[in-house]
């Protein structure tokens, strides 16, 4: 089978499924109205299939939600499109718990891009309270909360959250390097120089490529060799 035909066979059902997710509430309401009409005119059994489609469509709309649709927007960097999908979820409390947790994580991440740190913190804490489905996501969430705590000058909370993020696991090397560098700076301020050097080595071992992280490593490297311990 030609490759382009295989891609088409995969792509088309995915597009159809995305359309179903986008309009399944409307589909559920329409099929419910049809089911009632058929039930009245022809009896319950001819309407059963329509009732099933209606119940499944409405139930999955509220229980699972449209989060699958957000992936495409995030891959394209279209945060406005992703936010529009999230804002369309009117009753997040009805979402299945792991999906609700992801919902609040995404809300927090989008708030971060808008520099709305109060909203970001509120949503991320809700996500953590619900429990994230993946440990790596938990680590990334705690790291962001820890960074925000540090920005507010709350060293104790920031250190606790960043340590917890490292223990949970952070999904990418850039973020891991940032976490270790932040811990290095905390240890330097606490004059725990041996621990600071250890965290600095771990940050460099991640071999980050982001210019901001590399610059931070260069700045700390000027002082780290002169520290005792």
Tens-digit pLDDT profile for residues 35-81: 999 999 999 999 999 999 999 999 999 999 998 888 888 878 888 99
- Residue 88 belongs to domain spanning: 69-133
Domain shared by 144 and 202, yes or no: no
d(CA 65, CA 74): 17
pLDDT band at 12 (very low <50, low <70, confident <90, very high): very low
**Mean pLDDT, all residues of the chain:** 87
**Residues 170, 132: contact at Cβ < 8 Å?**
no
Tally the domains of the chain: 4
Q: Let me know: does 150 contact 180? Beta carbons within 8 Å.
A: no
Band (pLDDT 50/70/90 cuts) for residue 5 is very low
Whether residues 59 and 79 share a domain: the answer is no
In terms of domains, do 42 and 13 share one?
yes
pLDDT of residue 194: 92
135 within 8 A of 168, measured Cβ to Cβ: yes
* pLDDT-above-70 percentage for the chain: 93
**DSSP letter assigned to residue 192:** -
Among positive and negative, which fits the CA dihedral 17, 86, 107, 102?
Answer: negative
Residues 6+ apart with CB under 8 A from 72: 18
């Amino acid at each position: 089978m030609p490759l382009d035909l295989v891609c088409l066979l995969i792509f088309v059902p995915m597009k159809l499924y995305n359309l179903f997710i986008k309009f399944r509430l409307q589909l559920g309401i329409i099929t419910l109205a049809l089911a009632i009409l058929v039930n009245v005119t022809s009896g319950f059994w001819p309407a059963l299939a329509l009732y099933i489609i209606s119940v499944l469509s409405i139930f999955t709309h509220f229980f699972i939600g449209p989060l699958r649709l957000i992936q495409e927007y995030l891959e394209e960097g279209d945060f406005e499109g992703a936010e529009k999908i999230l804002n369309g979820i009117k009753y997040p409390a009805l979402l299945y718990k792991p999906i609700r947790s992801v919902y609040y994580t995404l809300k927090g991440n989008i708030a971060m891009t808008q520099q709305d740190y109060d909203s970001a913190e509120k949503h991320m804490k809700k996500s953590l309270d619900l429990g994230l489905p993946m440990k790596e996501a938990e680590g990334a969430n705690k790291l962001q909360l820890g960074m925000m705590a540090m920005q507010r000058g709350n060293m104790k909370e920031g250190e606790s959250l960043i340590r917890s993020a490292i223990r949970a696991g952070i999904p990418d090397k850039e973020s891991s390097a940032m976490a270790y560098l932040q811990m290095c700076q905390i240890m330097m301020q606490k004059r725990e120089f041996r621990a600071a050097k250890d965290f600095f080595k771990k940050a460099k071992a991640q071999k980050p490529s982001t210019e901001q992280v590399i610059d931070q490593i260069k700045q700390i490297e000027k002082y780290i060799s002169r520290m005792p311990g």
